Amino acid sequence: MSKIGVFICHCGENISATVDCQRVAEELSKVDGVAYSIDYKYMCSDPGQTLIKQAIKEHNLTGVVIGSCSPRMHELTFRKTCAEAGLNPYMCEIANLREHCSWVHEKGEATTEKAISLVKMLVEKVKKDHPLTSIQVPITKKALVIGGGIAGIQASLDIANCGHQVILIEKDPSIGGHMSQLSETFPTLDCSQCILTPRMVEVAQHPNITLYTYAELDSVDGSIGNFHVTIRLKAKSVDPKKCTGCGTCSSKCPQKKIPSEFNAGLGTRTAIYVPFPQAVPNKPVIDKEHCNYYQKGKCQLCKKVCPTDAIEFDKPDELLKEDVGAIVVTTGFNVLKTDFFPEYGYGKYKDVITGLQFERLASASGPTLGEIRRPSDGQIPKKIVFVACAGSRDPAKGIPYCSKICCMYTAKHAMLYQHKVHDGESYVFYMDVRAGGKNYEEFVRRAIEEDGVKYVRGRVARVYEKDGKLIVKGADTLLGGAPVEIEADMVVLATAGVSNNGAEQLAQKMHISYDSYKFFAEAHPKLRPVETNTAGIFLAGACQAPKDIPDTVSGASGAAVKVAGLFSQSMLVREPLIAVVNRCAPPLFSTCVGCFMCETACPYHAIEHEEIKNRNGDVIKTVAKVNPGLCQGCGTCVAFCRSKSIDIQGYTNEEMYAEVVSLLNN
C-alpha cells in the first residue's frame, strides 16, 4: 500500500495568489494512498525541506508529490531532499503549479481545480513509480573548445590551467576572433591587440592545449563525460611543420586584390595569406577560392619560391576523431549585413562604412595605419556622422533586441576620431544611450563633455550624396522632431550584432537549443547562464547574444569552472531515466521477440543483441538489451516496440497511462 506525502508550495504568493493552496492540500488528503498532505509558504527553503524530511520519516512515506514551480527548476532540489530522508529520489514527483497553472490563469475556482487535478495526476504516477539507482559512467577528462575568439581563448586557458587537456578549434587560419580586429577598447582605451596577443601566444604554447586552426566541428556523438567528436581539419595546403612563416610566398602570390576579411574589406590580401601580422599560428594557408592553381590549374608560384618546400597542393581535408568529456561553444557573433539599409546607402557610397570597418581604420595595424581616412579618396574626413542602432531595436528590420555594445563603441569611435582629427566635427545619432557597466556612463560623458562629440537624439531617415558630400537627413526628437541635415564626409553605421554564420547548423549538430535569432540558448537565463540544456555542453561569449569583452571573459571563465567541476569527479553520476528491456522467468526469459525495431529507432546505437542460452550453451533466443552508458532516455524505442517489452524508467507505459487516466477522471 502506498503512503504518499503531498506538499503544496505557496511560492511566496506566486502560487497562492491564484490557487487556493490550502484547499489543494485538503482535497489531496482525501485521495486514496495519500498519508500526509500539507501546504507551506516556501517548500524549497530550509524549513520547507525539513518539513518534507520529517514527514517522510514520521509517516514512513513511500512516495512524495510536490506541487510547486516547474520540475525544470527544483526537481533536483526535492529529489535530494527525499534522498536525505532515506526515500529513493525517483519516488519524488513535481506537479507544476506555478508556470503551468498559477502564472497562466486568473484567480478562481477553475484554477484551483486544475491545480488539484495536476497534483492528483502525479500522485497516481508516484503509486506506479519504482525506486531507481543512478548510473555511474567514467569521464574523459579532456575538453573541446569551439571558437578561438577571446571567449574560447579564456575558457581554454582556464581549463588548461586547472590541469586538464583542451582541444581548441578555430575555423579561421588564426585565433583572435573579433577582438583582434578592434582598435582600442572601451572604457579604458587600451589597445585591443596589446591585451589580446599575449593570451593568443599563451594558448599556442600551453602544454595542455592542442590548437587546431582552419578546423571545424564535423559531428558529435555520445553524451556528457563521453562525447565522440569528429573535427574537420580543412586542408591548409601548407605543411605547418616545414613552414617557417618567412612570408616569401605571400609576397610573390599574383592574386593581390582579394578583400581582406581581417580588415573588414577595407584592405586586400593574397590567396596564400596570414590574416594579420600577429596571427597565431603565424603560418599561411591557401584560400582555394581565390588561388590561381586551384581555380585555373596553373601557377604554383608559391611552391617555387618556398625555401622549405612546405607547400602541399591537393591535399584533402583530414577528419580527426577525438573523445572529450565536455564541450565549450564560443563561436561568437557577426555584424549585420547592411543590404537592408538602402536608405543609408551602404555599398552605394564608399564612405558609408560599418563600425567594424571604422575599427580597422582607427587601428594602428589597419589599412591606413591608424589614420582616419575616407575609403573613397583617402582624405581625412572633417565631419563624420555615427548612426547608432543601425538595425538594432528595429522590429521592422527583424532585430527587436538591443545589440548592447554599439552605444559604447560608437562613443569610443567618436572619441578616437576627435583624438586623431583635432579640427574634426563628429555627430552621433542615437535612440537612447545605454551605458550600463562599470565606468561606462562616465566614458560616454567624457566623449560629450571633454571631446565635444555632438549627440543628436533621433533616427536618420536617409543618407545621399550631393556635391561630393554625404547628406545625412534626420530628426532631433529633443527639439520636437525638428529636421536635421548634416553635410558629412563620412558616415559610420553601428550595425546590429547578429548570430554567426552557420550557428543554426552547429546547434543542430550538438542538439543545443537556440532562439529565434539563432543565438544559442542558455539552460536558465539567470541562474545557469553558461550551461545549455544538453548536459556537458557549455556556452560563453557572443554566441549567446551580443556581449562586450568583460562579459565575454567572465562568461568564459564561468564555463571553464563548470568544465573543471565536472572533471573533478572520478565518476559521473547519471540519471537512471533510460530504457530497459524486460526480463522474466524461463522459459520466456523476456517478452522481447527480437524484432529489433528498437534498434532501427535508436539514435544512439544503444540497442545490443543478447543471446539467451540453455545449459548446453545453445542459443534459445536473441533479445534486445539496452547499453546504459549510451542510452539517453528519449524513449523512441518504447513507442516502436510491438510486444511492449521495452520501457523507459521514470516514464513507463504504466506510469503514463496512470497519469492520463487520472487527469480525465477527476
Partner 1 sequence: MDNNESEFEPKIVAFVCNWCTYAGADLTGTSRIKYATNVKIVRFPCTGRIDFMLLLKAFANGADGIIVSGCHPNDCHYTSGNFHARRRWIAFRHLLEIIGVDVRRIRFSWVSAAEGAKWGDLVNETVANIRELGPYTEYTKVAQYVEKEDNNE
Q: Does 105 bind partner 1 (CB under 8 A)?
A: yes
Shortest Cβ 115–partner 1 spacing (Å): 10
Choose one: 97-105, 173-181, 271-279, 342-350; the region binding partner 1 (CB under 8 A).
Answer: 97-105
Residues 549-608 that bind partner 1 (CB under 8 A): 577, 601, 603-604
In whole angstroms, what is the distance from residue 209 CA to residue 226 CA? 19
Compute, in degrees rounded to 10, the torsion defined by CA atoms 480, 486, 491, 492.
-30
> Residue 497 has which C-alpha cell?
550584432
Which residues ranging from 426 to 445 are in contact with partner 1 (CB under 8 A)?
none
For residue 12, give every residue at least 6 positions away whose Cβ sits within 8 Å of its Cβ, in sequence order, or none.
Answer: 41, 42
Binder of partner 1 out of 2, 161, 250, 636 (CB under 8 A):
636
Which residue number, 251 or 513, has a Cβ lying nearer to partner 1? 513
* Closer by beta carbon to partner 1, 292 or else 627: 627
3-state secondary structure of 62: coil
Contacts (CB under 8 A) with partner 1, residues 604-633? 604, 632-633
Nearer to partner 1, 111 or 180 (CB): 111
Instruction: Please tell me what DSSP assigns to residue 533.
Output: S
Residue 656 as a binder of partner 1 (CB under 8 A): the answer is yes
Decide if 181 contacts 150 (C-beta within 8 A): no
Q: Cα–Cα distance between 575 and 573 in angstroms, integer?
A: 7
Taking CB under 8 A as the binding criterion, the range among 233-241, 293-301, 539-547, 634-642 that sits at the site for partner 1 is 634-642
Interaction of residue 121 with partner 1, rule CB under 8 A: yes
Looking at beta carbons only, is 381 or 635 nearer to partner 1? 635
Helix or strand (DSSP H, E) at 637: helix 636-640
Structural contact between residues 497 and 354, judged by C-beta atoms closer than 8 angstroms: no
The least distance separating partner 1 from the CB of residue 650, rounded to whole angstroms, comes to: 8
Nearest of 261, 299, 2, 288 to residue 124 by alpha carbon: 2
Nearest distance in Å: CB 72, partner 1 = 6
Q: How far is CA 555 from its chain centroid?
A: 11
Q: Give backbone dihedrals phi and psi of 64, rounded to 5 degrees, phi first.
A: -135, 135
Question: At a CB cut-off of 8 Å and minimum separation 6, what does 583 contact?
Answer: 589, 590
DSSP 585: S
Regarding 288 and contact with partner 1 (CB under 8 A), the answer is no
Amino acid at 577: L
Of 102-110, 242-250, 252-260, 418-426, the segment contacting partner 1 by CB under 8 A is: 102-110
Closer by beta carbon to partner 1, 100 or else 469: 100
CB 88, min distance to partner 1, A: 20
210 backbone φψ class: left, alpha, beta (φ>0; ψ -120 to 50) = beta
How many other C-beta atoms lie within 10 A of the C-beta of residue 206? Answer: 16
Contact criterion met (CB below 8 Å) for 385 and 391 = no
Instruction: Round to whole Å and give the CA distance between 209 and 160.
Output: 6
Residue 640 CA: distances (Å) to CA of 93, 151, 643: 26, 43, 9
Instruction: Identify each DSSP E strand in 26-101 by its residue range.
Output: 34-40, 63-68, 92-96
Helix (H, G, I), strand (E, B) or coil at 558: helix
Q: Rule CB under 8 A: is residue 201 a binding residue for partner 1?
A: no
- Using CB under 8 A as the binding rule, whether residue 100 contacts partner 1 is answered as yes
Q: Indicate the residue among 174 and 534 with the shorter CB distance to partner 1.
A: 534
Nearer to partner 1, 343 or 515 (CB): 515
CB of 33 to partner 1, least distance (A): 19
Binding status of residue 58 toward partner 1 by CB under 8 A: no
Residue list 289-348, contact with partner 1 (CB under 8 A)? none
Position among 76, 104, 364, 479 found at the interface with partner 1 (CB under 8 A): 104
Amino acid code (one letter) for 592: C
Cell of 271: 590567396
Which residues inside 499-528 make contact with partner 1, applying CB under 8 A?
A: 507-508, 511, 513, 515-516, 521
The single residue among 23, 41, 51, 70 that binds partner 1, judged by CB under 8 A, is: 70
Q: Does 113 bind partner 1 (CB under 8 A)?
A: yes
> Closest CB to partner 1 among 119 and 286?
119
Shortest distance, position 447 Cβ to partner 1, whole Å: 36
* Cell 548592447 -> residue: 404
Q: Taking CB under 8 A as the rule, does residue 533 contact partner 1?
A: yes
N- to C-terminal Cα distance for the chain? 21
**Is position 237 an interface residue for partner 1 (rule: CB under 8 A)?**
no
Q: Which of 10, 74, 79, 114 binds partner 1 (CB under 8 A)?
A: 114
Q: Which of 48, 63, 71, 147 binds partner 1 (CB under 8 A)?
A: 71
Q: What stretches of 253-329 show up as alpha helix (H) in DSSP?
A: 292-296, 301-305
Closest CB to partner 1 among residues 101, 157: 101
Give 240 or 502: the residue with its C-beta nearer to partner 1: 502
Separation of alpha carbons 525 and 523, rounded Å: 7
Compute and round to an integer the Cα radius of gyration of the chain: 31
Closest CB to partner 1 among residues 186, 227: 227
User: How many whole angstroms separate alpha carbon 97 and alpha carbon 104?
Assistant: 10
Sign of CA dihedral 656, 96, 88, 120: negative
Considering only 93-101, 194-202, 267-275, 359-367, which stretch makes contact with partner 1 by CB under 8 A?
93-101
Closer to partner 1 by Cβ: residue 337 or 509: 509
Least distance CB 582 / partner 1 (angstroms): 16
**Residue ranges in contact with partner 1 by CB under 8 A:** 70-72, 96, 98-101, 103-106, 108, 110-111, 113-114, 117-118, 121, 507-508, 511, 513, 515-516, 521, 533-534, 577, 601, 603-604, 632-636, 638-640, 648, 651, 653, 656-657, 659-661, 663-665
